[in-house]
Chains A and B, each alone.
Chain A
Amino acid sequence: MLWNTMILALREIRRNVLRSVLTILGIVIGVAAVIIMVTIGGGATVQVRQQIAGMGSNLLMVTPGKRLGPGQSTDNVPFKEADSRAIARDVPAVAAVAPVSSQSIQAIFGNQNWTTQVSGSNNQYLQVTNRSIRSGRQFTDSELRSGAAVCIVGETVIRKLFGGQEALGEKIRLQKLSCEVIGLLAAKGQSTMGTDQDDIVVIPLSTFQRRIAGNQDVGFIQVSVEEGVATEKVQNDIVRLLRERRHLSSSDDDNFNVMDMKEIAQMLTGTTRMLTALLSAVAAVSLLVGGIGIMNIMLVSVTERTREIGIRLAVGALESEVLMQFLVEAVVLSSFGGLAGIVLALTTSVWLAGILRVPFVFNGGIVMVAFLFSAAVGVIFGYFPALKAARLDPIEALRHE
């Protein structure tokens, strides 16, 4: 009997292609929308979290000028290398200090060229930015002191200039400076702000100042604070030291800025989290709309189906047989729609994650919730009108307009 009912239900689905497709479509869209949005949102959050973890611990960024933001600085007195040394020497609980000057420069190797960010700094740069050397070596003290023509190169630059070739020991040209590749940086990927952190060439600060910038300025200073020390205290110490070194009276505002990178990162996490919540809300609405779509199709077909139920009852179908048929129909349509939605959502999510460069994070919970909700809507609105109709006297059901 159950087998017969299954056959009847499947026949009925096949016979009413349009109705079946519309029902399934509602479920597919509802399920897919929710899963995609939550998956992508979750991926973005995970990515931000990873980047914060990879950003280097307790990083402070010291920049000249009054405030970061539009219309930046009025009296932009640049730092000198001595400022960086003073911080390293006089501020307690500082783990590493890297003075950095950088500029966008075209790097040339053979007939390949690639415009990249060239930074002049010291070995502590690697420590504060939480990077490591994949192969080759750091700068030596004498190279740093004498301003030698050597460089450490990021993954992207290697790929663009050398293709698959061995880069160590080769010489690349930065403007008029021809420098030897002595180290390759381990890849780090995209930053929180979406820039490529591997599109970089690092040379000694003195080399940068003499051969590229042509002055003794330092663009900014990155400071990493020792583990377990409150960054606020170090921040205050740096401000005090720099005010003194820059001869600011107590009435003057700071003409430099000490920022905690963690704060920026946390702000970004908050933003992504809010975005995920927003996307989820949108997704919930699509699920609801999908549900209403299913409901409409089911209710619209009730008249026709009530007559069908009347016919079946008249020719000798038991109420339970009719109901079983409708239940099977609703379950088959809903599960089919749900599964199609899940497949669509997962393929789209993987594809979108690739495009948006966020990790694909599978969230089984939301898949279940979306599927169960849609299936429940499908089954309830497929089954209950049928239940009402099957309880009528056959003649009532047949007369239904």
Chain B
Amino acid sequence: MNMTAVYRTDKQALIELRGVTKVYGSGQAAMHALRGVDLRIDEGEFVAVMGPSGSGKSTCMNILGCLDTSTAGTYWFKGVEVNRLTRNQRTKLRRFYLGFVFQGFNLLNRTSALENVELPLIYRGASAHERRHRALEALRTVGLEGWESHTPGELSGGQQQRVAIARAIVTGPTVLFADEPTGNLDSARSHEILELLNGLNREQGVTIVMVTHEQDMAAHAKRIVRFLDGLVESDKPNIRNA
């Protein structure tokens, strides 16, 4: 990957946002989702992002995940200025460094769990053998051994989210972004998912950024960032886990 962006010289954070804004629409109808967010996340952190609906927490995470672009401000990922990357370069950033888990799972319908998990590896150009091997391993990690050939329609919500997590981690990403990963699950399933994420963070050192509005889910994280009206309202370590 050839990144012709500006490198910073001071000690590198994994993720650094400075003065990031996001405006939807324009003129009178303009909606300011982010009003100048500064945020720094280091490698190995487990950050819960909280805040009421409309506070900008999801928008911020989509920008961090390169699924969306900011209106102004600067975003450095591993010292690379993401704002200056082309569309394809941002795609490659997702391909090689980032993993996603969504509230709505976003799995391919009528497609087996195994093939869903293999999907990111296809775009990485992995061989069929390697794809299968790694996908099976990822499914084992999330506790879905034996469910490889089931399609999303044949799996429960909790199982679907596990498939989604397997898909996110199969590439061995640097950061895993989870947008309300437990929003559609009951509390028992939710805690299982959080245990899983926790394990990934602890054992494999995956940096996790998780958006949630449930206090007891956020309690699993090492650090809690609260958004309000498009700004970071508070940012403190979670005393219980820190």
Contact = CB atoms under 8 A, between A and B. Distances in A.
Interface in B43-88: 62, 65, 67-69, 87-88
Q: Which range contains the number of B residues in contact with the other chain? A: 20 to 34
A171 to B, nearest CB: 78
B91 A318 contact: yes
A316 B92 contact: yes
A312 B167 CA distance: 12
B109 interface: yes
A8 B96 CA distance: 20
Q: Looking at chain A's contact residues, is the secondary structure mostly helix, strand, loop, or mixed?
A: helix
B106 A319 contact: no
A237 interface: no
B23 interface: no
Given A4-B125, A398-B106, A315 B68 contact: no
A314 to B, nearest CB: 5
A355 interface: no
A310 B62 CA distance: 13
Interface string A284-326: 0000000000000000000010011011111111110100000
B96 A316 contact: yes
A1 B167 CA distance: 20
Given A317-B91, A319-B87, A312 B67 contact: no
A149 B102 CA distance: 100
B169 to A, nearest CB: 12
A380 B109 CA distance: 24
Given A307-B106, A308-B108, A311-B106, A321 B67 contact: no
Interface stretch (B6-14, B115-123, B203-211, B229-237): B115-123
Contact of A393 (B67, B119, B171): B67
A394 interface: yes
A395 B67 contact: yes
B125 A316 contact: no
Contacts of B92: 316, 318
Interface in A368-397: 393-396
A317 B123 contact: yes
Given A314-B100, A315-B167, A395-B62, A15 B111 contact: yes
Given A1-B125, A8-B122, A311-B106, A319 B69 contact: no
Nearest to A17: B110
Contacts of A16: 110
A316 B111 CA distance: 18
A315 B88 contact: no
21 contacts: A4-B122, A307-B106, A310-B106, A311-B107, A312-B123, A314-B67, A314-B100, A315-B94, A315-B95, A315-B100, A315-B167, A316-B92, A316-B120, A316-B123, A316-B124, A317-B95, A318-B88, A321-B123, A393-B68, A393-B69, A398-B67
